[in-house]
Amino acid sequence: MQTAERAILFADVTDSTTIYESLGDARALGLIDRLLQRLQADAGRFGGTVIKNLGDGIVCAFENPGAAARAACDMQKAVAASDPEAPRKLAIKVAFTYGPVVLAGEDVFGDTVNVCARLASIANSDQVLTNEQTLAALPPELGERCRKLFPVRLKGRQETVTAYEMLWRADLDLTAVNMMRAREADTELKLAYAGTSVSVPRDAGEVRIGRDKANDVVVTSNLASRFHARIVPRGGHFVLADMSSNGTYLLADGGAREIVLRREEAVLGERGWIGLGRTASEHGDHALRFRIESKGD
């Protein structure tokens, strides 16, 4: 085994379970396989090597972060421009990081790989995420296309990792991002539980959730810990952090996949459910309803 500097890229097809359910195994497998072949070709054009397949995704290695960034953008562009007559519109999420890795045969290991996997797991459809260390190694013209999002806590690691989004569409998106940030300043989070509601502006401190009466939102479920979770406004977003024994479940409205947090963090979407110690889909006394909306709505 030896160590080297490499850029690692994870690309994953989103909502693949729903695709298999709606199309059937054979059609879904063919559709996803063709997409993965296209993604592999995109990686190869920028000198990338496909290290392995992970379910409905791929892991690639590049000599430098600029090549990984360009490949990531081209992958998203290829999916966005895919055949509109296809039986199902596919979407992917991509993350890439740069730093030291351990080379073991045809595989790669190490913190750079672990951080990339974590970023890929929290990325949204059509999104490309990276971290601050990788951003510092990018050429200026690529670094300018990245916007700071929020700190991410990784399992087994004390320090947080700051996530950045790379904008892969046309330059007009840079203006759109600035307009979005202006709108976000006038929004707030609303939590509802057992007939009570709490409003949280973006400039507020943390909101604590749990069984203990000292919490901002007090729940009665015996599945919840005394201090179960907290929500913190951060970087224009609301970040949910699990602090519990049984885990926190996050289900976005219209989402096909529930996220399970165990001493981890996730960004809240526009609206959905938070389950304390149990799946959020049942909407019982262990679940909170949340939505983010403009002030005064």
| Percent of the chain predicted with pLDDT > 70 | 86
Residue intervals of the chain classified under CATH 3.30.70.1230 are 2-178
Global pTM value: 0.62
Residues 72-97: tens digit of each pLDDT: 999 999 888 876 556 567 888 999 99
Asked whether the predicted pLDDT for residue 232 surpasses 60, the reply is yes
pLDDT category at 247 given cuts 50, 70, 90 is: very high
pLDDT at 184: 47
The CATH code that applies to domain 2-178 is 3.30.70.1230
Q: Any idea which architecture 186-294 has in CATH?
A: Sandwich (2.60)
Please list, in sequence order, all residues whose beta carbon lies within 8 angstroms of the beta carbon of residue 165, skipping any fewer than 6 positions away.
127, 128, 129, 146, 147, 149
Residue intervals of the chain classified under CATH 2.60.200.20 are 186-294
Asked whether the predicted pLDDT for residue 41 surpasses 70, the reply is yes
Residues 173-231: tens digit of each pLDDT: 444 444 344 444 567 899 999 888 888 877 777 899 999 999 999 999 999 999 999 99
Residues 96-124: tens digit of each pLDDT: 999 999 988 888 899 999 999 888 888 87
